[in-house]
Amino acid sequence: MAALSLPFALVLAGCAGAEEAPTSTDAPAAGQWPGEMTLYIPNAPGGGFDIAARALQPALAEQLGESVVPTNLEGAGGAIAATQMLDDPADGTAMMITSRSIASVPYTGTPEIDPVLHLAPIGVTHQDVSALTVRADAPYDTVAEFLDHARANPGGVRIGTAGTGGVWHAAGLLLARAAGVEFTFIPYDGGSSAGNALVAGEIDAVTIGAPETRPFVEGGDARMLAVMGEERSSLYPGVPTLQEQGIDVTYAVWRGYVVDAETPEPVRLELAERVRAAAEDPAYQTAMAGAGFETTWIGPAEFGELITQEDELIRQLFAGEDFMTTRPERVPN
């Protein structure tokens, strides 16, 4: 199979919103926070965002000295949750968990939400990889058999994703292009919803993350054919990577937290430190390991690079797709 690789980092372009935010407001003192935090989760309960945000919530509440209220607002690839967060006071009391998928929002119908300008990075806390998963009774046992079926039925294989233009759509499209096949992508409002659709027979496969696939696999309703990591998943050591099966595609998904870019810089930096401390909490680490997520920490500066890099990636990967209907003002026609 032909190799298909995309850059993981670009030269630092920064997060323009972070540069424009006021810097005169002092950071909250130790043990104090401006008020109760709303933690927005842009997908349905049970998905990867939901699992991770709720795992962080107890430790984060302890770090802030305030209640942290997880709030699920799924839909529009994260635009609904982002819109609500941006309507809240920009004082550190509203934060959203997000991933690479947020980059597609201004290109898929919501150009007024521009992650590069409007969202300020707090930190990346974990990552996971896409997995190609089919129903337990599917007539193919290997990726090669699955792709042969797809070649024999152009466009007839339905792949469930967690939203048009999102990370799992990108993963499926990378696989299709590398293997020279055509899939039909069906968007759902989260990984758990896509998994439920797979089990119900609405679709033929999903390319959602391995941790989100776990309940369906362990329940005996689904079977994982491959993971898209550079190495096998610790959650599924018996499942080969795509590269092991002759398809040179990897796709890791970072996940982290953002706030309104108008939030004062001292508040953002202090929040980043408290999120980092919460992410080091042993109970959080145990919960994330049990869910199959690889924990990490990438601070605000590097996270800003990833947000900018992902904006470039989305424009390259999805160029010419029908759903790329809009663009942010900063991007020329």
What whole-number distance in Å separates Cα of residue 268 and Cα of residue 71? 20
Is the model's pTM score more than 0.85?
Answer: no
Going from the C-alpha of 77 to that of each of 36, 71, 218, the distances in angstroms are 26, 16, 28
Q: Worst-scoring range by mean pLDDT, 8-17, 70-79, 151-160?
A: 8-17
* pLDDT greater at residue 204 or residue 167: 204
Q: Is 62 exposed, middle or buried (0-12, 13-18, 19+ CB in 10 A)?
A: middle
Half-sphere exposure in the Cβ direction for 149 (13 Å, CA) = 15
The pLDDT tens digits of the residues spanning 56-69 come to 999 999 999 999 99
Specify the DSSP element, H or E, that contains 170: helix 167-179
What whole-number distance in Å separates Cα of residue 169 and Cα of residue 163? 7
- Percent of the chain predicted with pLDDT > 70: 92
Confidence of residue 29 (pLDDT cuts 50, 70, 90): low
The pLDDT tens digits of the residues spanning 140-191 come to 999 999 999 999 999 999 999 988 888 899 999 999 999 999 999 999 888 8
**What sign does the dihedral 246-199-98-80 (CA atoms) show?**
positive
Q: Please tell me the predicted confidence (pLDDT) of residue 2.
A: 33
Q: Look up residue 250 and give its amino acid.
A: T
Note whether 202 and 175 are within 8 A (CB). no
The CA angle 227-254-322, to the nearest 5 degrees, is 80
Note whether 213 and 195 are within 8 A (CB). yes
Note whether 237 and 248 are within 8 A (CB). no
